[in-house]
Amino acid sequence: MPTAPPAAGITIRGLEVVYTTGQGQIPAVNGINLDIVGGQITGIIGESGSGKSTLAMAMMNAVPHPGKIVKGSVIIDGVGNMMTLDKESQRRARGRHVGFVFQAAQNSLNPLTRIGHQVLDLGRSHNVKDLRALLRRAKELLERMGMDADRVLTSYQHELSGGMRQRVGIMFALVLDAQIVILDEPTTALDMLSQASVLEIVRSIQEERGLTIILITHDMGVVADLADRVIVMYGGELAEEGKTEDVLAHPQHPYTRGLIRAIPRISGNLDQAVALAGSPPDLQTFVQNACLFYDRCPERMAQCQNHRPPYEIAGPGRKVACFKVMAK
């Protein structure tokens, strides 16, 4: 039997993205160096505004205005450096090699065209020869997600609920057999039962195809259920990463511990959930020399006020940006 090709990974080096505002340029992604392991589900977590979605869009060289990629490389196995490819090669890579599910699924759907016709348009734009087979694949994916495929394919987006549109978005990301799939808050519009079903389907398809999945979320529970590795972002920088079970059981960065403490419990004392104190970083925070988390950190030291901690190895398979962890 032929050997299956190795799972596609992503190598990110020195990636910087800024947003121009009336107050100045805000570094939404600041000097990121990251290796996304092929064939695994990697969760990227953090508060709103931490840079998660911007990082995901930058991986495809598709950061919307007023954002701008100012530096760095994103090398996708089997594709090349997305920062240096010509526009047509980038377009072909999106969809064929890298699928993307937007947080607001309706943003990726054409309100004037039935879903089935959009599947055909997607196939034509990527030179798919057998469009009937593509439609069959779309029906199979929709049915696996518990939907009436014939009804969905003949519907316009406004005829579908938010949860249905979200699942349609997942179908579009998978239907061209992309080897890398980026899911930006994929379960936001779903109730708990639908969320559990969709996550199980994503895991099942990932295992079948050996997909590389990048899961962008603020929901630590989703990461715990699905991800093999977790990356924690804060203020456009990496705070911590490691195997999911290691990070959740033994979080090293004070910010990670704060995110875990903020998770409400279904049973027991509801007061045990403690919201993170303070506010996410603003422009003034970015220009200071201190650790980005300094003003909110309950464990800060004098060193943290004068220097930005480097992102370093903190044990087997672990990295963290924290002076206190490194001092141990």
Cα–Cα distances (Å) from 98 to 56, 76, 214, 237, in that order, read 11, 9, 10, 23
Chain mean pLDDT for the chain: 88
Strand-pairing partners, residue 184, are 216
Distant-in-sequence, close-in-space partners of 282: CB < 8 Å, separation ≥ 6: none
Residue 286 pLDDT: 83
Distant-in-sequence, close-in-space partners of 234: CB < 8 Å, separation ≥ 6: 46, 47, 50, 255, 281, 292, 293
Beta strand spans in 148-284 (E): 180-184, 212-217, 229-234, 237-243
Helix ranges, 97-161 (H): 115-125, 131-144, 149-153
Sheet holding 10-21, edge to edge: 24-36, 10-21, 67-76, 80-81
Q: Which of 194-203, 291-300, 307-316 has the lowest mean pLDDT?
A: 194-203
pTM score of the predicted model: 0.88
Higher pLDDT, 58 or 205: 58
Count of helix runs (H) and strand runs (E) in the chain? 13, 12
Higher pLDDT, 9 or 163: 9
Distant-in-sequence, close-in-space partners of 199: CB < 8 Å, separation ≥ 6: 187, 222, 225, 226
Residues 116-149 pLDDT 10s: 999 999 999 999 999 999 999 999 999 988 899 9
Span 27-42, mean pLDDT?
94
Main-chain phi, psi angles of 287, to 5 degrees: -85, -10
Residue 249 pLDDT: 93
Q: Is the pLDDT of residue 324 over 60?
A: yes
pLDDT band at 303 (very low <50, low <70, confident <90, very high): very high
HEC sequence for 239-259: EEEEEHHHHHHCCCCHHHHHH
Nearest to 225 by CA among 247, 246, 244: 244
Residue 273 pLDDT: 59
Residue 29 pLDDT: 95
pLDDT above 90 covers what percent of the chain?
Answer: 54
Helix ranges, 228-298 (H): 244-249, 254-261, 283-287
Given a contact cutoff of 8 angstroms between Cβ atoms, the answer to whether 150 and 143 are in contact is no
Cα 328 from Cα 326, distance rounded (Å): 6
Residue 220 pLDDT: 83
What is the dihedral sign for C-alpha 69, 94, 47, 227?
negative
Q: Is the pLDDT of residue 3 over 50?
A: no
- Domain annotation for the chain: domains and CATH numbers: 10-97+178-327 (3.40.50.300)
Residue 140 pLDDT: 93
Residues 85-115 pLDDT 10s: 999 999 989 988 998 887 766 667 889 999 9
CA dihedral 153, 159, 162, 163 (to 10 degrees): -40
Residue 2 pLDDT: 40
SS3 184: strand
pLDDT band at 162 (very low <50, low <70, confident <90, very high): confident
